[in-house]
A and B are shown apart, each in its own frame.
Chain A
Amino acid sequence: MNSKGNIKKDNSQIAFLIDGFLKVRSTTSVLIETHLDEDSLNAFIEGQLSKVESQPIINHLVGCSFCRQVTAELVKLELSFAETDPVVSQHSEPTKVSEVINGLFSRLFGNTTGEVFAHQEPEDEKEDKKDENN
């Protein structure tokens, strides 16, 4: 490598070699059974992890083509939505979560399962209501 020209040519050749090598390697990768959870994937994609935090994730991504492909697709997806303004729904009144969920189940399974998803009021809310009544 005596000149810049040679460096470029050599780099181009090695890039071609590494391209072929990596594509073959990706078809022969060992199957990894444990994958990264959504929380870790997202934190990594958003660049929220420090060196200590991201090192195990990078190590995993180098060996796990499944998770790497998921991160790659999520990066593409994030980029597609990066410049879009947040959309706020048009509902003007609070809807009961139990109603929303029951509605969804009706659509998904054709019947309601209200008894399973009966709303549980948190203890402190019950106490608040008691205070209001008193």
Chain B
Amino acid sequence: MSPELALYDSLLENCEVVMDEIYSRCSENMPNFGVKNGCFNDSLKKTARKYLFKENNKPTSDEIKTFLIEIQAEDLFMAMACSNGNERAWWEFDQNHRGYLERVSRHLARSEADAQDVVDTVYVELYGTRVVDGERVSKFASYSGKGSLRGWLRTIVWHSLVDLHRTSHDEVSLDEMTENLGEGLAHASFAEQNLGGEETMLDQITIDRYRKVTVSAIEDAFANLENHEKLLLLYYHVDNLKLREISRLVQEPESELRSWFQRKSVNREQNPDTKIHESTVMRWLEKTYGKVLKYFKNDLQTQAGLKSEEIGICMQLATKDLANSSLYRNLLKR
């Protein structure tokens, strides 16, 4: 065992009391599920190793305890019992979650038959058909309790449906698969800019140079953003998430995407549970655009040595090119 792993294990051992408390609570609420204390604690440790112990992160005992307390312990307890094949747990699982699984499946599938196929397949996968070293491997074993069991099931159904479509249609793109969700095409509705006549006065060599440095500057500007800012732009512009949907993604007060964007907000410090509205996400986008613009102009000034009038011409050219799709071709040639 590496010194790092040994350190993690000793940190976890210091938290056995917390784990035992969580176990007692769960087994009191679900007395017939047959989950053993040691197995449950091992599962909690596995979750901590997966999410908490990362390179360059040495959590304190208090941080580990908080992490353990925040785990969806009852969901994990049920998943473990189902994984072991406990009848009572399966019955409760079926009572509590089958209806939801069916509704999610119907919502996503193109036909009732497909929906039923997916639910059946998910049940079989959850029970487990693979046997390794004489032990049946249940899909439940991959649930860590970090998110809700219901959310995890939704993800399983979604993947199962993608697999079903791929099997029946060879390769189907995710776009095609999800088109029945009613999402439109790109929703960024930027008005076409009113172009001036400057470019008509420029020779082709200058225009080509402007195009080249513009593409390079936009690439550099995007590359200089922090990853959570890149993700925000990608969700909005490429994956077509609406502001309302992005606000959902950051709804949890503990969401780190949310905290990154709000790290300097006085309002957040005073009201950490405040709901994130679409207008807030729009403001984040505006801020990110502002940052891209700053980097973009700075790149054109410092790297390409352009003056502010020339930068204006670059933007107009690029806007026009995008409207005609020629900038796309230029990008693809690179």
Query: Using a CB–CB distance below 8 Å, which chain A residues touch chain B?
Result: 7, 10-28, 37-43, 45-56, 58-59, 61-62, 65-66, 68-70, 72-82, 84, 86-89, 91, 94-97, 100-101, 104-105, 107-108, 116-117, 119-120, 122, 124-125
B172 within 8 A of A: no
Which of B4-12, B16-24, B230-238 forms contacts with chain A? B230-238
Q: State the CA gap A80–B228 with chains docked (Å).
A: 25
CB distance B152 to A39 under 8 Å? yes
> Cβ of B273 < 8 Å from any Cβ of A?
no
Q: Is the Cβ of A42 less than 8 Å from the Cβ of B87?
A: no
State A130–B97 Cα separation when bound (angstroms). Answer: 32
Q: List 9 A-B contacts (CB under 8 A).
A: A15-B188, A19-B188, A19-B190, A21-B331, A28-B331, A68-B235, A68-B238, A74-B158, A91-B91
Is the Cβ of A23 less than 8 Å from the Cβ of B104?
A: no
Counting CB contacts under 8 A, is B269 at the interface?
A: no
Given A13-B193, A47-B251, answer yes or no on A38-B155 (Cβ-Cβ < 8 Å): yes
Chain A residues closer than 8 Å to B245, beta-carbon distance: 72, 75-76, 79
| B151 CB contact (under 8 Å) in A20, A46, A125 | A46
Residues of B near any A CB (own CB < 8 A): 34, 36, 50-52, 54, 57, 59, 67, 70, 84-88, 90-91, 94-96, 98-100, 103-104, 107-108, 117, 120-121, 123-124, 127, 129, 136, 142-144, 146-148, 150-152, 154-156, 158-159, 174-175, 178, 181, 183, 186, 188, 190-191, 193, 214-215, 218-219, 222, 227-228, 230-231, 233-235, 237-241, 244-246, 248-252, 254-260, 285-286, 289-290, 292-293, 296, 315, 318-319, 322, 327-328, 331-332
Question: Given A17-B315, A47-B249, A47-B251, is A86 in contact with B99 using a C-beta cutoff of 8 Å?
Answer: yes
- What A residues does B181 contact at CB under 8 A? 73, 76-77
A105 to B149, CA, bound (A): 24
- The answer to whether A24 touches B290, judged by C-beta atoms less than 8 angstroms apart, is no
List B contacts of A74 (CB < 8 A): 154-155, 158
Query: Is A79's CB under 8 angstroms from B248's CB?
Result: yes
Q: Is the CB of A48 within 8 A of B289?
A: no
Residue in A19, A40, A55 with the greatest tally of chain B CB atoms within 10 Å: A19
Contact of B248 with A82 in the complex, beta carbons under 8 Å? yes
Interchain CB contact under 8 A, B227 and A11: no
Q: A17-B318, A89-B99 are in contact. Are A45 and B289 (CB under 8 A)?
A: no
Q: B159–A87 contact, CB under 8 A?
A: no
User: A54 to chain B: which residues have CB within 8 Å?
Assistant: 256-257
Task: Decide if A105 touches B234 in the complex (CB within 8 Å).
Answer: no
